A and B are shown apart, each in its own frame.
Chain A
């Protein structure tokens, strides 16, 4: 829909452009509070982390390509699979989904001009960067965490792991948790309070429901991890005894605390993927999602039930049967909200007018792998079966189908889908399709044989295996698959990189998308929308009359808010326009605060408690400075 802008409108647009102008140069990026710039910084950082985690994975697969290989020493291998897990979960998937996609798209989709707390948004990025650095400093020193991302005690206790590898893990995760908590608070308030007037809960895009669910899950799951890590560090550094049987502690306390966080975590990883899928499917099926309320509900409910299933990671520790049964029921029922969405997606594609462009292909791949992974997941909720294959490669296969097949595929699809919006250029469709098929096949070849190896009895986390066990061929196939997979991913990067410079211009709305972000220019201006958009359904871009109305309002200079960085705040449920907020812009305090916090945690790892205290004081001062200006921008 080409927006015809009258001369008057043009004047208003120029005025807004002046008001919202970003600082030039690198300084502009460091001090920015623009959710789009922060989103991009998240994106590239997470992409680098993805590369690192992928490299670690390839090293491990190369080690396992045949029996008794010694490319990596046992110690190095342990650090590899630990860092692979930590990187992919905490430093890639969560920042990529909530950080990059969420930050960039959420305000656009709800028609806001920025997040609710722009400076805190910047802060959470810088803290995330800091935590990533902390972890990789450890790897560079050869002190990377080496007890698995699950980090079970007593293996992770001072007695069996005397180095400071695990301290990097403990403090790194607490540090990272601060970032995620801040981000999730920001998301929830943004979704509750910053929606464009008229976007009542039942008119909110499903993408936003997914991110709302993620934010809440993070908010309530992370404290458990924080406490677990805190106890661990107290045990390790100050000689407390939370996990030490000899002094009345219990190693299972760690397992409980960790999985209370750890299982919701799995859904935190997968839910944004649901959101991206529900954004892509209607666009390419050219029809509304089937059964909107149930899909929205499914997204929330998955996050909610996710808190009642953690012991299915612990079915083999010998709990009382009665304890395990409380979890088995939830572990089974949680399949249903996922099933609802699954069939809603399929039904939408089936009853719509599907146009299988690259993004939709990735979503189809996601559906296939999500079914495979989901179904093997159901089998794991059956206690007797779980006790057989637990901690075997069967589980590895299961959660890689779910996490890679089901969580990363939509991310890749989303990269293609929103590429035109972010860069203003179109990607190469043919290369896109090829890259999909390579990735799809690579994923299958890599992870499917793992089911069989697992049932044959190959445990996880072995740095090598003996030749006579009959695991050789399957492992060989898996490794080959891993290389194919890597090739596919590289093709995607290449495609996007080339298109960035050579791609034909995209225009505002190349795919006839359904949500608001397609109504503004590509790339969007710093103020996102010249006029605060009119919303009267979850598919505002398909309400042509509303968009026409917006153009007229622009010409009339109505609903512009051009007295500074202004954006409307609305009521939480029915989105009635309540007040006009003035947003802060480009502050240098978030990076400073993050830096001081980095100092705090790095010094804690090094066990220099007084210096850490000094940095904490500095952090407090920087927060004073932060508030010194208030929002008088």
Chain B
């Protein structure tokens, strides 16, 4: 925990959840169109399992990214005054200051992304497939 983590890891912590949501969203959407827009019988996708599996995977990635962000926060929290200063936007010197900033951002993004993924992940399977709204 002494060295700052690599850039890729940091940005996964920031963006991971969001990207996972995009993936879940786009692919589920494609399935629902394929299943419901197409004249019956052309696509016989096992939509339900796919849907649930996808959501599960996406949520998993989201959690992982959340964990990274949390770890990053703890890392920068070693310099307590940095964490405090950052919350107030005092802009403590990079890289520590920037890392803490990104960590806070990552935590919140992932929280929201996760809530969306969970809501759709639970909500969608509860509804009957392909019924006109």
Contact = CB atoms under 8 A, between A and B. Distances in A.
In-complex A–B contact (CB below 8 Å): yes
B97 A323 contact: no
Contacts of B78: none
A326 B25 contact: yes
Of the candidates B32, B95, B115, B128, the one having the most CB atoms from chain A within 10 angstroms of its own CB is B32
B12 interface: no
A321 B102 CA distance: 37
A325 B126 CA distance: 11
Given A320-B133, A326-B29, A329-B120, A202 B94 contact: yes
Contacts of B22: 307-308
A48 B28 CA distance: 45
B18 A304 contact: yes
Interface in A284-329: 288-289, 291-294, 296-297, 300-301, 304-305, 307-308, 315, 318-326, 328-329
A36 B96 CA distance: 35
Contacts of B131: 320-322
A201 B132 contact: no
B130 interface: yes
B112 A336 contact: yes
Contact of A294 (B25, B36, B104, B129): B104
A304 B21 CA distance: 11
A324 B115 CA distance: 17
A326 B120 contact: yes
Contacts of B120: 325-326, 329
Interface size on B, as a range, is: 35 or more
Given A202-B97, A330-B116, A318 B133 contact: yes
Given A202-B94, A202-B97, A293 B86 contact: yes
Contacts of B116: 305, 308, 329-330, 333
Interface in B65-109: 86-95, 97-98, 100-102, 104-105, 108-109
Given A202-B94, A294-B108, A296-B105, A322 B130 contact: yes
B49 interface: no
Interface in A557-605: 573-575
Interface string A525-551: 000000000001111000000000000
B11 to A, nearest CB: 10
A305 B112 CA distance: 10
Contacts of A325: 120, 123-124, 127
B130 A202 contact: no
B15 to A, nearest CB: 9
B9 interface: no
Nearest to B96: A202
Given A320-B132, A333-B116, A573-B98, A202 B25 contact: no
Contacts of B95: 200, 573-574
B52 to A, nearest CB: 13
Contacts of B129: 320, 322
B119 interface: yes
**Interface SS of chain A: helix, strand, loop or mixed?**
helix
A201 B127 contact: no
A320 B130 contact: yes
Given A200-B94, A304-B18, A322-B127, A293 B89 contact: yes
Contacts of A297: 104-105, 108-109
Given A293-B89, A297-B109, A321 B133 contact: yes
A383 interface: yes
B99 to A, nearest CB: 9
Contact of A536 (B33, B93, B101): B93
Nearest to A318: B132
A294 B128 CA distance: 38
A292 B123 contact: no
Interface string A335-346: 011001000000
A321 B127 contact: yes
Nearest to B92: A202
Of the candidates B94, B129, B132, the one having the most CB atoms from chain A within 10 angstroms of its own CB is B94
B102 A289 contact: no
Interface string B24-64: 01001100110110000000000000000000000000000
Contacts of B25: 308, 326, 330
Contacts of A330: 25, 116
Interface in A362-383: 383
Contacts of A200: 91, 93-95, 97-98
A308 B21 contact: yes
A288 B94 CA distance: 20
Interface of B: 7, 18, 21-22, 25, 28-29, 32-33, 35-36, 86-95, 97-98, 100-102, 104-105, 108-109, 112, 115-116, 119-120, 123-124, 127-133
17 contacts: A202-B92, A202-B102, A288-B88, A289-B89, A292-B86, A301-B108, A318-B132, A318-B133, A321-B127, A322-B36, A322-B127, A323-B29, A323-B133, A328-B123, A332-B119, A333-B115, A539-B89
Interface of A: 200-203, 288-289, 291-294, 296-297, 300-301, 304-305, 307-308, 315, 318-326, 328-330, 332-333, 336-337, 340, 383, 387, 536-539, 573-575
| Chain A to chain B: the 4 pairs with minimum beta-carbon distance, closest first | A292-B89, A202-B101, A203-B91, A200-B94
